[in-house]
Structure 1
Amino acid sequence: MLALALTLILASVAYFLVMTLVDVYPLNNVRDAARAEQRTEVAVNAPVMVLPAVLLGLGAALDVPALGYAAGGLELLAVLGGLLLWWLPYLVGVTVPWATAGTGVTWTELHARTYAQTLMVLPRIGDRPRPNLEHMLLHALMVAAAITTFAAAA
């Protein structure tokens, strides 16, 4: 279970980096994101996404299950943040305060410029921004990583 958890955590980090930095349109729309936005997104999110793998690996190596549980908790918090960022605006019409931190635009504006032309599989709810397939796949990887991390720590 440890190997699976580590693989899922690192796969989600790799997927995040590719989707943030490499143009694979129409799955993402990196071409319409400013380089500064990409750098900020990687600088803020990548360390948080890698830390569960470090904690889980240390917990296993040192035989300290608490580190594994901390890893699972951090992975769960990271995916919860992503789910709130994407699903609250879509389902409830509420944007989280950190959605566009440092960009100077609203979530609706940022979404329209960088995500609205990507693959969407969910039906429209009025004019609310929809989660795109790219982020739905990332969130699925992260949920699986959180579940397996807790199982590996147990």
Structure 2
Amino acid sequence: MLVPALVLILVAVAYFLVTTLVDLFPLNNVRGAARNERWTEVAINAPLLTLPAVVLAIGAAVSSPALGYVAGSLESLAAISGLLLWWLPYLAGVVVPWATAGGVSWPELHARTYAHTIVVVPPIGDRPRPNLEHTILHALFVAAAVCTFAAAPALA
């Protein structure tokens, strides 16, 4: 389970990088973000998203299941953050306080940037819906977290 966990984590990172930096409209809407905004997002998030793979690899190298569980926890944090940001407003109508910066609301930001991308979930009133780009990313995070936790005991 170690190899699938590492592959899923790294595929999620690669997917994040491509969808953050490359215009794939209508899958994403990077054309709505300035180049420096995209690179800032990559500079902040790519190291954080890569950290579970590093911790898991070190855990495998030193035969430490504990590091495997740490890696799974870190990957779970990425999944939970994405789910809270995107799925909580959609399913429960609740926006997390850190959803946006600069005085714009999440529904306003969503309407301006993501509402014009591919969305496959049905509407719930006028709530912002997760787009396909982020649905795929969140599925990768969840799958990577599950595989990482499954791999942890075998690191002994």
Normalising by structure 1, we get a TM-score of 0.94
Do structure 1's residue 47 and structure 2's residue 68 form an aligned pair?
no
Shift of 1:112: 1.4
Residue range with higher mean Cα deviation, 91-100 or 49-58: 91-100
Alpha-carbon distance in structure 1 between the residues aligned to 2:104 and 2:43: 19
Do structure 1's residue 142 and structure 2's residue 141 form an aligned pair?
yes
Aligned to 1:125: 124
1:40-96 per-residue CA deviation (whole Å, 9 max, x = no partner) reads 322222111100000000000011111111000110111001000001111111111
Alpha-carbon distance in structure 2 between the residues aligned to 1:138 and 1:107: 19
Aligned letter for 1:46? A
Q: Secondary structure at the match of 1:126?
A: coil
Aligned to 1:58: 58
Unaligned runs of 5+ in 2: none
Aligned to 1:77: 77
- Across the aligned residues of Structure 1 and Structure 2, the Cα RMSD in angstroms comes to 1.2
Do structure 1's residue 30 and structure 2's residue 30 form an aligned pair?
yes
Normalising by structure 2, we get a TM-score of 0.93
Aligned letter for 2:143? A
Residues 6 and 63 of structure 1, relative CA distance in 2, 3 Å threshold: same
Give aligned-pair identity as a percent. 71
Alpha-carbon distance in structure 1 between the residues aligned to 2:58 and 2:37: 32
